[in-house]
Amino acid sequence: MLRHGCDPLVYHEEAFHTNKIRGIRMHGIIGKIIAVSGGRDALVRILLKGSRDLPGCLSYIVARDNFDEDTVWITEVWESRAAHERSLDSSAVQKAIAEGKHLISAFGHRVETVPVGGQDLPTVE
């Protein structure tokens, strides 16, 4: 089983074709969540608790923004898009959504990536 790793690499055309040819296509998401004023730390705790032991999740990083006291960044790497989609129905994720939604003011920029490797992640050549 793969261990948790670090940030995914951003998608580019060559990585897409390499992953597709090899039959490996990890799925990455980088997203910005804006908490209600004063709610960021509580939201961070909920996100961390809800992200433990998710099948197919290779990395789930919750980070505080250095410059905006209400912003949280999430960096995720999944074995596949399907693994991520299945996780949304898990009881842990549903519980985290229910507990944290009142702490979310807005969702900011979100990008999907095709990770091609990184610390503790498989490398696709």
All domains of the chain in start order, with CATH = 13-113 (3.30.70.100)
For the four alpha carbons of 51, 107, 36 and 69, in that order, the dihedral sign comes to positive
pLDDT at position 23, please? 62
Q: What is the pLDDT of residues 62-76, one digit of tens each?
A: 999 999 999 999 999
The H or E element spanning position 82 is: helix 81-87
Those residues of the chain that have pLDDT short of 50 are 1-21
Strands 57-64 and 71-78: antiparallel
| SS3 (DSSP) at 48 | helix
**Model pTM above 0.85:** no
pLDDT at position 52, please? 86
pLDDT at position 4, please? 39
**Among all chains, which residue has been given the structure tokens 């998608």?**
11
pLDDT at position 111, please? 97
pLDDT at position 125, please? 63
